[in-house]
Structure 1
Amino acid sequence: MRCRLCGCDRLVSVLDLGATPPCEKFLGPDELDSPEPTYPLHLRLCEECLLLQIPALITPEETFTEYAYFSSYSDSWVRHAKTFVAQAIERLSLDSDSFVVEVASNDGYLLRHAVAAGIPCLGIEPSVNVGAAARAAGVPTETAFLTEESARRIRAEHGPANLVVANNVYAHVPDLLDFTAGLRALLAEDGWVSIEVHHALNLLRLGQFDTIYHEHFQYYTLASAEQALATADLRVVDVESLTTHGGSIRLWARPSAVAEPGERVDRLREIEDEAGLHSASGYLDLRPRAEQVRRELLRFLLDCRDAGRRVVGYGAPGKGNTLLNYCGIRPDLLEYTVDRNPYKHGKFTPGTRIAIHPVERIDEDRPDVVLVLPWNLEAEITAQLGHIREWGGELVYPLPTLHHAEWADLDRAESVARASIDITTGRRTR
């Protein structure tokens, strides 16, 4: 394996999660007696450029041509997108003469707000099924993977973009250099690129190992993201701290000729350096953290089983499948899980083969414990499931450490959801 950013062959093992199926390859009932392909899930660090990465063992075409994830099923994520569009309009003075492109636009969860504001826009979405949902919602969407070639074609047809949005996609591209060149090819010479990506500082310091799965080919610090963007003559000029996905950063980049980094960029570089992320030794605590989470969660579930307590799950996200497979959790410990996305109903989780039902199943069965797999949405889900306390139900979150929702103070859920590293202070937010 060679680094996909700099080509170096010196890669250090950070965390080996074993071999698992692709996290979005949910099984139908007719597939339960068939074998599943599994692939190594081994996080490594390039000693040269310090990019965290896993081998590109599955192609984007295998994952994203038909996709099970629809962004609009998360209320908090839709609100986040609406707020971003409003702020971008103000910051960049976007209007009816502007052009906004979103890469990996999913079901139009973000661009619908640009449409409502009268701003010309285009989504680029590789998944046929979710792209169709976006068009049905009135969001212009082209079915394509972003490459430098496709970007040049789209620019020739629609013109240069004043803003290119790439939320939670920069980790999903195995050909990092070609994708980055595509971002630049879409962009006007005085345009802006906005990229949201889970911050590797949170992954490492808070032990968020379940964010590692086969769709995520690389995991960024500011420093490694700057090096990747520089390959296409893009420079990071500003960075914001976000609570989404357990702690993300929003990178604002521009063509190098019109770009100068601001104070927040310099400060985050310092924080990453202070955290030890400018050398390989700063990455090696993740393995013992992951092992500790596994021990605590399995001990809890085994105790529940011994006590005759009924445990079910909430959510069937990609990160949840990494957690379930790494911990070896199967229907004997987690009876079933539920999800708001009807696309997943009647299917089974990859590898662990846990049944997925509609959310209403929880109210019908009244289980003793609900284990929440998308722990990064704690504020939203605690509010949605607060009623389970009526029958004495417990709501449990596995990360960043195993903990119960505290019904006496639902506001605590918001503080937990914000458990990330503040990029202005370098301290944990709770």
Structure 2
Amino acid sequence: MNCRHCHTPLKDIFIDLVNQPPSNSFLKKEQLDEPETYFPLKLFVCPDCFLVQIDEYKNSQEIFSDDYVYFSSFSSSWVEHAKRYVDMAEQRFSLDAESMVMEIASNDGYLLQWFVKKGIPCLGIEPTGGTADAAEKIGVPTRREFFGTTLARQIVVENKQPDLLLGNNVLAHVPDINDFVEGLAIALKQGGTITMEFPHLMQLVSQNQFDTIYHEHFSYLSLVSVSEVFASHGLTIFDVEELPTHGGSLRIFARHTTDHTRPVTESVKGVLAKETSAGMTGLDYYRNFQSKADTVKADLLEFLIRQKRAGKTVAAYGAAAKGNTLLNYCGIKTDLISFCVDASPHKQNLFLPGSHIPVLHPDKLKEQRPDFILILPWNIQNEIMEQHSYVSEWGCKFVTAISHLAIH
């Protein structure tokens, strides 16, 4: 296996989460007795460009099919985050009715809807039929395709090059990162801006967020590695923001390298210096992560077994991809967690891959009155705990497993 960016042979393992089913491959009841396909979930680090990456065992067209179940709009905090971004972008980039905004992996229109309301022309690029349909229902023009150099050249021919080209949590999802970033460079209008948000690898390591590793994420990104990839395709990162979303993310701002109107800011130099001092430009940094994940696994299993023996019931909240990585790595089934609830109707009445835990409507909490609720999407734990504070009426407590076991 070679690095998906610089083609250096890979042999240094970052973490091995063993074989797992794809984290968003939810099951219908009639599929529970059928065989499930498991794929290796092993990450390597490149010794040259320090891109942390998975081998592509599962084809991206299989993952992002028309029955893909992740709809962004079911997290109110994420939709609010998108609205704040749109307000910022409108001001910072002087966007108006003459501008063009393009979002790659626009999902259900959670973000572009705010540009539509401002009268700023926009286009979503979204390969998944169900989410694209949802976006068009709220007035967001959407093109059902995967983004790369082929589509980027079509955009140029059609004279639809964007002033602002954005993508949130998509850069980590692309199997061919070179084709994708080259596509960004081709599609971007001269003088235009690219913004990308992605979970920060430094936070993943420091906060022990191994559950954010799954087959949909082909790359795990630092500013060091992303700067290298962008530079090799004629793009310069000129600004960066550190965000609290998804357990700690970076929002990068990039331009054509030939566009000298915006100098590289101190914030870029600061994050690069922080990564370097943490050791992210040396292999030792990446070699101790497995033991941190194993500690979380042991602590969570010990907690669940203790509750089982005491006759207590544990439910889960949030049928998130990260939750499936955690449950499957720990080998947790319905004997330890009886059910999971989720606000998205697209996940309700399905079963989690691997663990086969049923996904139900949140009203089930009031009916079943569990003693503990394990929050799987810990990145929105405050939102969940506020919305369901009523569980304290019967003495129920919330639990999180990442970065360490905590009872709230």
Whichever residue aligns with residue 81 of structure 2, its letter is: H
Q: 1:371 aligns with which of 358, 370, 374?
A: 374
Please name the residue that 1:79 is paired with.
80
Equivalent residue of 1:225, what SS?
helix
Counterparts of 1:74 and 1:231, CA distance in 2 = 35
Please name the residue that 1:361 is paired with.
364
For the pair 1:176 / 2:177, whether they are aligned, the reply is: yes
User: Contact 1:180 / 1:231 at 8 angstroms: preserved in 2?
Assistant: no
In the TM superposition, residue 104 of structure 1 has moved relative to its aligned partner by: 0.1
In the TM superposition, residue 69 of structure 1 has moved relative to its aligned partner by: 0.2
Alignment of 1:254-273 (within 5 A): 254-259=255-260, 260-273=263-276
For the pair 1:115 / 2:116, whether they are aligned, the reply is: yes
Please name the residue that 2:64 is paired with.
64
Runs (5+) with no aligned partner, structure 2: none
Deviations 1:32-58 (A, max 9, x none): 111011110001101111100010111
Equivalent residue of 2:163, what SS?
strand
Deviations 1:238-285 (A, max 9, x none): 000101100000010000011532100001111001101010101122
Please name the residue that 1:189 is paired with.
190
Equivalent residue of 2:189, what SS?
strand
Please name the residue that 1:296 is paired with.
299
For the pair 1:309 / 2:325, whether they are aligned, the reply is: no
Deviations 1:83-104 (A, max 9, x none): 0000011111111111000000
Please name the residue that 1:95 is paired with.
96
Please name the residue that 2:279 is paired with.
276
Counterparts of 1:155 and 1:290, CA distance in 2 = 45
User: Contact 2:246 / 2:379 at 8 angstroms: preserved in 1?
Assistant: yes
Counterparts of 1:151 and 1:360, CA distance in 2 = 45
User: Contact 1:17 / 1:42 at 8 angstroms: preserved in 2?
Assistant: yes
User: Contact 1:3 / 1:11 at 8 angstroms: preserved in 2?
Assistant: no
For the pair 1:322 / 2:329, whether they are aligned, the reply is: no
User: Contact 1:124 / 1:145 at 8 angstroms: preserved in 2?
Assistant: yes
Counterparts of 2:231 and 2:147, CA distance in 1 = 18
Alignment of 1:26-425 (within 5 A): 26-66=26-66, 67-259=68-260, 260-405=263-408
User: Contact 1:204 / 1:285 at 8 angstroms: preserved in 2?
Assistant: no
TM-score normalised by structure 2 residue count: 0.98
User: Contact 1:104 / 1:166 at 8 angstroms: preserved in 2?
Assistant: yes
In the TM superposition, residue 154 of structure 1 has moved relative to its aligned partner by: 2.5
Counterparts of 1:258 and 1:158, CA distance in 2 = 20
Whichever residue aligns with residue 31 of structure 2, its letter is: E
Deviations 1:299-346 (A, max 9, x none): 111111011011000011111100000011110000010111111111
Counterparts of 1:198 and 1:16, CA distance in 2 = 19
Equivalent residue of 1:354, what SS?
coil
Q: What percentage of aligned pairs have identical amino acids?
A: 43
* Count of residues in correspondence between the two structures: 405
Runs (5+) with no aligned partner, structure 1: 406-430
User: Contact 2:10 / 2:44 at 8 angstroms: preserved in 1?
Assistant: no
Whichever residue aligns with residue 27 of structure 2, its letter is: L
Equivalent residue of 2:323, what SS?
helix
Equivalent residue of 2:198, what SS?
strand
Equivalent residue of 1:258, what SS?
coil
Please name the residue that 1:16 is paired with.
16
Deviations 1:182-221 (A, max 9, x none): 1112211100000000000011111110010000000011
Equivalent residue of 1:161, what SS?
coil
Q: Does 248-257 or 229-238 show the bigger shift? A: 229-238
Counterparts of 1:76 and 1:186, CA distance in 2 = 30
Counterparts of 2:194 and 2:11, CA distance in 1 = 30
Equivalent residue of 1:342, what SS?
coil
In the TM superposition, residue 401 of structure 1 has moved relative to its aligned partner by: 1.3
Deviations 1:99-146 (A, max 9, x none): 000000000000000001110000000001110000011101110000
Counterparts of 2:289 and 2:360, CA distance in 1 = 33
User: Contact 2:351 / 2:359 at 8 angstroms: preserved in 1?
Assistant: yes
In the TM superposition, residue 373 of structure 1 has moved relative to its aligned partner by: 0.3
Counterparts of 2:176 and 2:346, CA distance in 1 = 29
Counterparts of 1:389 and 1:129, CA distance in 2 = 37
Equivalent residue of 1:344, what SS?
coil
Counterparts of 1:93 and 1:404, CA distance in 2 = 46
